[in-house]
Amino acid sequence: SAVISQKPSRDICQRGTSLTIQCQVDSQVTMMFWYRQQPGQSLTLIATANQGSEATYESGFVIDKFPISRPNLTFSTLTVSNMSPEDSSIYLCSVVKAPDNEQFFGPGTRLTVL
């Protein structure tokens, strides 16, 4: 298995500000992802965090709004920039571990934008 921690676990932010969410894994993983789960909805993939290169974003998500870093195999950050109330959501870090390619999820960061 993989133990994933996220910081902060929750935050309340003002409109127009930015928040950086950290994801730390207890072991090296092959792939890391960032998801969003809006209230009452299923998960939506934001991007794949690539080590040492730019993240790969899904349709509807752009780097200027959600810049992502992945400096090594166990750590990644997601920034939610210039926030608006529509960004209120749970943001989840997820990893895939070899050799069985099981996917694990972090506990999530609950973001409320006022």
Partner 1 sequence: DAKTTQPTSMDCAEGRAANLPCNHSTISGNEYVYWYRQIHSQGPQYIIHGLKNNETNEMASLIITEDRKSSTLILPHATLRDTAVYYCIVRVGFSGSGANNLFFGTGTRLTVIP
Residue type, 67: P
- Alpha carbon distance 72, 109 (integer Å): 21
For the chain, the 3-state helix, strand and coil shares in percent, each to the nearest 5, are 5, 55, 45
- Smallest gap from Cβ 6 to partner 1, in A, equals 9
- Smallest gap from Cβ 109 to partner 1, in A, equals 10
| Closer by beta carbon to partner 1, 65 or else 97 | 97
- Smallest gap from Cβ 48 to partner 1, in A, equals 6
Q: 114 and 12 in contact (C-beta within 8 Å)?
A: yes
For partner 1, the binding residues (CB under 8 A) are 4, 30-31, 33, 42-45, 48, 56, 58, 92, 94, 96, 101-108
- Alpha carbon distance 38, 86 (integer Å): 9
| Closer by beta carbon to partner 1, 52 or else 99 | 99
| Closer by beta carbon to partner 1, 33 or else 74 | 33
